[in-house]
């Protein structure tokens, strides 16, 4: 064959095919990025990430009843669920809401209550307990209350909540109240009491008078108040 300096036709064809074939992997990758799949990702080295197991509610031929989930064994109590103290676990004393705590109210209990209040309650009731948490504010934005689709979270600082017994508060958290859901399954018994203590502290903090401040710190507070007032006047 004479060398004409032209690229042979078969080589051109091969180059075109090669270009198309080279597009396949990026196209597959692009597709994988926008589609969803329920199967596990491809593992070249599995590292025991996926193992055979029985999932909740599935069948298991090993047991006579064919259930993978085993029922509770009769006559046994799950760890941490033993009721030995009605005051502690129900908030009731002689059938009435307890007016006292079943444990000493310590700084540690209040700190724990503050943390757990922030986790479970503040979303609706707000960090200061005025019923103005982000969920409530969002519902206001959507005007759900006006459409009777939403009952606003109660403020702790007016009306009934001010006079409720601590046992009543404990019961509210445990079993819910009216439209408020129950949190007994999610928050441990001790933590529920810690939250009660913290809610009481919140109420106290918002309804405090100068007489609640220890004598020694009162002067300092009044001095600060005076200097704040002066600063405000200077601004005018
Ligand atoms: C999903 C939002 C939501 C969360 C979270 C929530 N609450 Fe409430 N709470 C409400 C609503 C709504 C009401 C008013 C219910 C009604 O009147 O129907 C209420 C009412 C109350 C009341 C007044 C009960 C009374 O005596 O009338 C208390 C006290 C209270 N909640 C405490 C708590 C505490 C403590 C937590 C955290 C463990 C909590 N709530 C978490 C929505 C919530």
Average pLDDT of the segment spanning 117-142: 94
Q: List pLDDT tens digits, range 45-101.
A: 888 887 889 999 999 999 999 999 998 888 888 776 677 678 999 999 988 999 999
List ligand 1's pocket residues with C-beta within 6 A.
120-121, 123-125, 135, 151, 153-154, 160-161, 164, 169, 172-173, 177-180, 183, 195, 199
**Hey, what are 220's tokens?**
């300092």
Instruction: Tell me how far apart the alpha carbons of residues 192 and 174 are, in angstroms, rounded to a whole number.
Output: 7
CA distance 180 to 160: 15
Ligand 1 mean position, distance from CA 142 (Å): 20
For a mutational test of ligand 1's pocket, the pick from 132, 137, 154, i.e. the residue with the most ligand atoms closer than 8 A to its C-beta, is 154
- Give bridge partners of residue 67 from the DSSP assignment: 59
Residue nearest (by alpha carbon) to ligand 1 atom 10: 153
What is the pLDDT at residue 32? 86
Regarding predicted confidence, which is higher, 97 or 232? 97
Q: List, in order of start, the domains of the chain with CATH numbers.
A: 86-121+155-205 (1.10.760.10)
Q: At what angle do helices 189-206 and 107-120 cross, to 10 degrees?
A: 90
Whole-number percent of the chain with pLDDT over 90: 59
Residue identifier of the C-alpha nearest atom 22 of ligand 1:
154
Please state, rounded to an integer, the average pLDDT across all residues of the chain: 90
Q: What is the pLDDT of residues 30-60, one digit of tens each?
A: 998 898 888 877 788 888 887 889 999 999 9
Handedness of CA 113, 115, 120, 125 (dihedral sign): positive
How many other β-carbons are positioned within 10 Å of the β-carbon of residue 220? Answer: 10
Yes or no: say if 101 and 196 are a contact pair by the CB < 8 Å rule: yes
Among candidate residues 185, 208, 201, 181, the one with its CA nearest the CA of residue 117? 201
- pLDDT tens digits, residue range 199-216? 999 999 988 888 888 888
């Amino acid at each position: 064959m004479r060398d004409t300096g032209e690229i042979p036709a078969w080589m051109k064809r091969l180059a075109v095919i090669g270009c198309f074939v080279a597009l396949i992997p990026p196209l597959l990758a692009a597709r994988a990025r926008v589609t969803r799949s329920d199967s596990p990702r491809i593992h070249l080295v599995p590292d025991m990430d996926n193992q055979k197991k029985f999932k909740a509610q599935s069948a298991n031929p090993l047991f006579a009843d064919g259930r993978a989930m085993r029922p509770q064994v009769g006559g046994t109590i799950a760890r941490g669920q033993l009721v030995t103290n009605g005051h502690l676990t129900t908030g009731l004393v002689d059938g009435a809401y307890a007016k006292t705590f079943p444990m000493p109210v310590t700084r540690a209990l209040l700190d724990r209550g503050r943390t757990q209040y922030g986790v479970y309650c503040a979303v609706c009731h707000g960090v200061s307990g005025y019923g103005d948490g982000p969920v409530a504010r969002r519902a206001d934005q959507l005007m759900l209350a006006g459409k009777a689709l939403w009952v606003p979270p109660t403020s702790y600082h007016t009306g009934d909540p001010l006079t409720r017994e601590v046992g009543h508060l404990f019961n509210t958290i445990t079993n819910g109240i009216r439209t408020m859901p129950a949190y007994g399954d999610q928050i441990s018994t001790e933590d529920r009491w810690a939250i009660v203590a913290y809610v009481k502290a919140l109420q106290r903090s918002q309804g405090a008078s100068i007489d609640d401040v220890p004598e020694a710190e009162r002067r300092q507070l009044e001095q600060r108040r005076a200097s704040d007032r002066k600063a405000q006047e200077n601004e005018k």
